[in-house]
Structure 1
Amino acid sequence: MTLPDGVERRSIAGETGLATRGQPVYGEPTEDGWRRWNPNRSKLGAMLETGMQTGLSGGETVLYLGAASGTTVSHVADFAGPTYAVEFAPRPMRDLLTVATDRSRLFPLLNDAREPTAYAHVVEPVDVIVQDVATRGQARVALENRRFLDDGRLLLAIKARSEDVTRQPENVFDDVLEELREGYEVLETASLEPYHDDHLGVVARPD
Structure 2
Amino acid sequence: MTLPTGVQRRTVDGRERLVTRGEPVYGEPTDGEWRVWDAGRSKLGAMLALGMETGMVGGGSVLYLGAASGTTVSHVADVCGPTYAVEFAPRPTRDLLDVAAARPNLFPLLKDARRPETYAHVVESGVDLLVQDVATRGQADVALRNRRFLRDDGRLLLAVKARSEDVTAAPEDVFGRVQEALAEGYELLATRRLDRYHEDHLAVVARPR
> Is the structural similarity TM-score above 0.5?
yes
Distance 1:37 1:16 in 2: 11
Q: Which runs of no fewer than 5 residues in structure 2 stay unpaired? A: none
Q: What is the match of residue 118 of structure 2?
A: 118
Please name the residue that 1:155 is paired with: 157
Query: Offset at 1:51?
Result: 0.8
Q: Which residue does the alignment assign to 2:83? A: 83
Q: Please give the root-mean-square deviation of Cα atoms over the aligned residues, in Å.
A: 0.6
Superposition map of 1:9-48 within 5 A: 9-48=9-48
Q: Give the TM-score normalised by the residue count of structure 2.
A: 0.98
**Residue 46 of structure 2: SS of its match in structure 1?**
helix
User: SS of 1:127's equivalent?
Assistant: strand
- Residue 182 of structure 1 corresponds to 184
Residue matched to 2:146: 145
Divergent runs of 4+, >2 A = none
String of CA shifts for 1:32-59, please: whole Å, max 9, x gaps. 2000000000000000011111011211
Distance 2:88 2:77 in 1: 19
Q: Deviations over 1:45-103 (max 9, x none)?
A: 00001111101121110000000000000000000000000001000000000000000
Which 5+ residue runs of structure 1 have no aligned equivalent?
none
1:104-140 superposed Cα distances (whole Å, 9 cap, x missing partner): 1000000000000000000002110000000000000
2:197 equivalent in structure 1 = 195
Quote the Cα distance in structure 1 between the aligned partners of 2:193 and 2:49. Answer: 11
**1:206 corresponding residue in structure 2:** 208
Write out per-residue CA displacement over residues 147-169 of structure 1, whole angstroms, 9 at most, x where no aligned residue. 00122100000000000010100
CA distance in 1, matches of 2:169, 2:110: 32
Give runs of aligned pairs for residues 161-176 of structure 1, distance below 5 A.
Answer: 161-176=163-178
Which residue is equivalent to 1:134? 135
The whole-number CA distance in structure 1 between the counterparts of 2:161 and 2:192 is 13
Residue 14 of structure 1: CA displacement?
2.3
Q: How many residues align?
A: 207
Quote the offset at 1:12 in angstroms. 1.6
1:51 aligns with 2:54: no
TM-score (norm 1): 0.99
